[in-house]
Amino acid sequence: MRGARFLGNGRVTIEDWPQPSVGPGEVLLHVQRTALCGSDIKLWHKGASWVPGHEIFGLVDSPGHALHQQRCLVYIPVHCGQCDSCLAGDTHLCETESVLIGWNRPGGYGQALSVPEQCLLPVPDWVPDNLAPLLLDTIGTAAHGIRVAGPQVVKGPVLVMGSGPIGLGAIIALKDSGFHEIYVSDPKENRLVLAQRFGARVHPMDDDTTRFAFVLECSGAHAARNRGLKIVRPHGIVLLLGENDAPWTIEETKPIRRKDFAMMRSFYFPKSDYPKI
């Protein structure tokens, strides 16, 4: 098959790869769409010995299987189903498996891949092919964090920091969860235009005086994280959705030290969230 090879140092080639080997409990998936993710930049720089890509949508090709010829998304965390986290429904937090499809197992930047049956998420007919991958990282990750943190938030103004894909997904999920006063900050004007179309109001990047009951940090930038800790209201929540591999230093200033607040990290989503997503 043909697939992308990430060579590192910002180089990508399209090459011939062996056809996927389908093991027990797995199916072959013909890829229809794989969305670009900001986290792919890591492999773009570092390189990978496998086909990357983790926001995958395709068609099952496994005659005799219940989902043969079905349109499906790929749930990337391979999970054991037996550990305490899995039994509690937290399939994204499996304690015995550390495999993420596209990250340390072949993914979707090729024509096909093998997928564990447990990682197939059937896509409703009314969801277009081009939008289907957005149900994973873009909507799923943001919606899960809001579902976990939202009930603990005293209703009030919400700030989304960063209006890339995760931030836009957060705006959609916030509106669906009953939040009405949604603000967004981003240094890029074109992203703010789109965020406003989604129903958010622009909040100036240099305004550190306005306080918010709920701050969603969606960029992963350390400066934005620190700003979120500073401007969250007393008894508010700072939800970290953005990623950053670099060490993060928090300077415990007076606005951070002298108030009660919570900081929460949320990763991906459990399979049980998918119908809600």
- The backbone torsions φ and ψ at residue 167, rounded to the nearest 5 degrees and listed phi first, read -65, -40
Domain ranges in the chain with CATH number 3.90.180.10:
2-135
Report pLDDT for 190. 94
Kindly report, residue by residue over 85-141, the tens digit of the pLDDT: 999 999 999 999 999 999 999 999 999 999 999 999 999 999 999 999 999 999 999
Report pLDDT for 155. 75
CB 183 within 8 A of CB 203: yes
Q: Class for domain 2-135, per CATH?
A: alpha beta
Report pLDDT for 152. 86
Which residues of the chain are modeled with pLDDT < 50?
A: none
Q: Class for domain 138-273, per CATH?
A: alpha beta
Report pLDDT for 88. 96
Report pLDDT for 17. 97
What torsion do the CA atoms of 215, 216, 220, 226 make, to the nearest 10 degrees?
10
Task: Count CB-CB contacts under 10 A for residue 29.
Answer: 27
R_g of the chain, CA atoms, integer Å? 20
CB 100 within 8 A of CB 56: no
Domain ranges in the chain with CATH number 3.40.50.720:
138-273
Report pLDDT for 151. 85
pTM attached to this predicted model: 0.92
DSSP state of 222: H
Kindly report, residue by residue over 63-84, the tens digit of the pLDDT: 999 999 999 999 999 999 999 9
Residue ranges with strand state E in the chain: 2-8, 11-16, 26-34, 56-61, 71-74, 112-116, 120-122, 158-161, 182-185, 201-202, 212-217, 232-240, 262-265
